[in-house]
Amino acid sequence: QVQLVESGGGLVQPGGSLRLSCAVSGFGLNYYGIGWFRQAPGKEREGVACIRNKDDSVVYGDSVKGRFTISRDDGKNTIYLQMNSLKPEDTAVYYCALTNRVFWPLCVGSYGMEYWGEGTLVTVSS
């Protein structure tokens, strides 16, 4: 049973920072890709930041480049999303997702991801 559990969401002021974590269990950790996605009210789910497991290749959504950083622990069972310079438009439910499908680039919408966490809400507001 694959489990992905996000944590770290909450309320933050514009310009602030937040760090999200995703703990992975119940799956062989030689998966193909893992990453963060988000969905704001009335909008399509979009890719935020993803990592290809075999070589740590990363993909960022255009709207977060330069502000967000994805990383992974050495055991590959936890990934992080460091979010800096947060904007109100970053407000969304953030999901961790994993896939063993082979495709590139990752993080195009939610295409190809097989397993999803329940999400953690990030609200950027003053």
Q: 62-86 pLDDT, tens per residue? A: 999 999 999 999 887 999 999 999 9
Average pLDDT, the chain: 94
pLDDT at 29: 72
pLDDT at 78: 94
CA-only gyration radius of the chain, Å: 13
Query: Is 16 a residue whose pLDDT tops 80?
Result: yes
Peptide linkage before 14 cis (omega within 30 of 0): no
pLDDT at 26: 84
Query: Is 113 a residue whose pLDDT tops 80?
Result: yes
Q: How far apart are CA 58 and CA 31, in angstroms?
A: 15
Left, alpha or beta for 96 (phi > 0: left; psi -120 to 50: alpha)?
Answer: beta
CA angle 41, 47, 53 (to 5 degrees): 145
